[in-house]
């Protein structure tokens, strides 16, 4: 069965479950595990790949975003590096590097846990591409776990943009995640994003589900 068909069936099942649940507690959310990645400005894309360069699409993501074919190397303050870090498009107004806590240790850096876009005072990082390199004085974060929702999903779950909830994974690890930020936008598809550290510790993979327990 094709991946798109599996995703569609999973969504239909989750929608059916949620229609029969009370608001708030019991609302089911699919998981998306987010590996390390980078968002760049057009200026920085050109600094790394050459004048006039445009990111090329590898895979569509939600909200109009896409995983690009382009990858780069990130370098920490102790000159420790991680190669083949994927860039997500389209370009943004600020460049941002998202890593896991394990990545931060490998880079020899102290990286704060932040929501995407909250970059003031975050960690510095160097990025090396095939045509050049850039240095960000701030911009490297460990992404705070969060749930993307369309307005109809937020209404069904009884939550609002900016709320913080807890969720439970009902598997052999029985993990409860606290401090999960709700993000609501018309362009969003229902999905909770956690990083690879969190997913591995809880034995969770993309496509698994968790339940909001508030």
- 178 and 152 fall within a common domain: yes
User: Do residues 47 and 134 make contact, with C-beta atoms less than 8 angstroms apart?
Assistant: yes
Residues of the chain with pLDDT under 70: 1-25
For residue 178, the enclosing domain spans 3-33+145-212
Q: What is the pLDDT of residue 23?
A: 47
Q: What is the pLDDT of residue 63?
A: 82
> For residues 100 and 37, what is the distance between their CA atoms, to the nearest angstrom?
10
Q: What is the pLDDT of residue 152?
A: 96
> For residues 86 and 70, what is the distance between their CA atoms, to the nearest angstrom?
6
Q: What is the pLDDT of residue 78?
A: 86
What CATH number does the domain containing 29 carry?
2.40.40.20
Q: What is the pLDDT of residue 6?
A: 56
**Count of the separate structural domains present in the chain:** 2
Q: What is the pLDDT of residue 17?
A: 54
Q: What is the pLDDT of residue 14?
A: 59
Domain limit, last residue, from 143, 167, 194: 143
Q: What is the pLDDT of residue 133?
A: 98
- 102 and 201 fall within a common domain: no
User: Do residues 183 and 139 make contact, with C-beta atoms less than 8 angstroms apart?
Assistant: no
- 46 and 83 fall within a common domain: yes
> For residues 25 and 133, what is the distance between their CA atoms, to the nearest angstrom?
47
1 CB-near residues (< 8 Å, 6+ apart): none
**pLDDT tens per residue across span 81-129:** 999 999 999 999 999 999 999 999 999 999 999 999 999 999 999 999 9
Residue 84, classed as helix, strand or coil, is strand
- 69 and 122 fall within a common domain: yes
Domain limit, last residue, from 115, 143, 171: 143
- 117 and 152 fall within a common domain: no
- 43 and 119 fall within a common domain: yes
- 48 and 11 fall within a common domain: no
- 47 and 115 fall within a common domain: yes
């Amino acid at each position: 069965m094709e991946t798109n068909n599996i995703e569609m069936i999973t969504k239909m099942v989750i929608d059916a479950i949620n229609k029969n649940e009370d608001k708030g507690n019991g609302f089911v959310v699919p998981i998306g595990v987010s590996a390390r990645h980078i968002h760049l400005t057009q200026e920085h894309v050109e600094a790394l790949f050459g004048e006039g360069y445009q990111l090329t699409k590898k895979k569509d993501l939600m909200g109009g975003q896409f995983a690009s074919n382009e990858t780069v190397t990130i370098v920490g303050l102790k000159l420790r590096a991680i190669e083949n870090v994927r860039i997500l498009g389209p370009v943004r107004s600020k460049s941002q590097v998202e890593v896991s806590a394990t990545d931060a240790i490998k880079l020899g850096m102290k990286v704060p846990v932040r929501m995407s876009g909250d970059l003031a005072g975050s960690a510095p990082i160097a990025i090396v591409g095939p045509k050049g390199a850039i240095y960000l004085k701030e911009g490297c974060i460990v992404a705070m776990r969060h749930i993307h929702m369309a307005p109809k999903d937020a209404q069904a779950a009884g939550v609002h943009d900016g709320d913080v909830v807890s969720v439970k994974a009902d598997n052999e690890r029985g993990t409860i995640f606290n401090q999960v930020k709700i993000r609501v936008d018309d362009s969003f598809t229902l999905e909770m994003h956690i990083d690879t550290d969190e997913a591995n510790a809880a034995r969770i993979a993309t496509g698994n589900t968790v339940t909001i327990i508030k």
